[in-house]
Amino acid sequence: MTTACAPGKVILFGEHAVVYGRPAIAVPVTQVRACAMVEDGPLGQGVIIDATDLHLRHQAGDPVPATSPAYALEATVRNALQRLGIGGLPDLTLTVSSTVPIASGMGSGAAVATAIVRALAQHVGQALSPAEVSQLVYQTEVIHHGTPSGIDNTVIAFGQPVYFVRGQPIETLRVGRPFWLVIGDTGSQSPTKDVVGDVRRAWQAEPEKYEALFDRIGAVATRAGRAIEQGRPSALGELMDENQELLQAIHVSSPQLEKLIHSARTAGAMGAKLCGAGRGGNMIALVARAKAQRVADMLRTAGAVNFVISEVGAASSMSG
């Protein structure tokens, strides 16, 4: 039996614009994670995928629509086995579990795929580099999101804060001084593929307007990256607020997100914004450590279904 896990993630700056070649910053969130367990099965069984959280049990090779979660899970297994040089479908039982919220901007699909790839590689005694894992997981991201930026598979596979520009070499970020985030979940799922598709159609209809907005979002991410590496986390709050205004301008916020963002700021957050695709899912707030629980409590009162308090740059977090 072999088990491997992978963290969730949040995008701090640059979502949506990153799809169009602008920089974005993302960090792993280790409080939530996906795990995959691989066991040898009886002769002739083939691959059985058991996704306990989805109440799904799937025999690889059985017909399944592309919209089913089983389709992406099986594709991940097949792609990984091919990369590992294993022909056909060996006799394995793959059990997947996850505490990463689905369709909420925390990289659930990439975390599950990363855990699967790592578990399969370890089970057959092979080592894959983070870059190789990321490349395989990107193939799954295409199934989930259509035109993914590549940031989710990168930050989750590498397990480090990253400054990401599509098509350019990966840059990991050195966190000059740790800082605290409160992540609040609206409880409303928002499939990334749908929101990204809407933004693409808007960009096609008004390219000059959207290119200018993407430029401004990218500039915010660049400034934020410098502040993080220079150990100036206090500068990030204003940048978060600026990024949120730009995300509102491309119409990816929502009343639920706005309510949580306003509540966080009222409770003392230095800045707050949506994270991920938007129109649901999660928001993030930059907080002083002493105010983290107060902000989290205010988010709960404002309707957040749960929260995570996470320290970026150190392995310390808690949830509620």
Q: Which of 40, 152, 185, 241 is catalytic?
A: 152
- 280 touches 257 (CB < 8 A): yes
Q: Which two tokens stand for residue 311?
A: 């320290």
- 306 touches 170 (CB < 8 A): no
For 317, residues 6+ apart whose C-beta sits below 8 A from its C-beta are 29, 30, 31, 308, 309, 310, 311
CA-wise closest residue to 121 among 152, 156, 79, 73: 79
For 37, residues 6+ apart whose C-beta sits below 8 A from its C-beta are 1, 2, 3, 94, 95, 96, 119
Q: What is the DSSP letter of 126?
A: -
CA-wise closest residue to 117 among 101, 97, 144, 140: 140
Any idea what the Cα angle at residue 108 is, between residues 50 and 280, rounded to 5°? 130
Rounded CA gap, 21 and 140, in Å? 20
- 132 touches 117 (CB < 8 A): no
- 17 touches 251 (CB < 8 A): no
53 carries an active-site annotation: no
- 151 touches 7 (CB < 8 A): no
- 224 touches 15 (CB < 8 A): no
Backbone phi and psi for residue 243, each to the nearest 5 degrees, phi listed first: -60, -40
Rounded CA gap, 108 and 125, in Å? 26
Positions marked active-site: 152
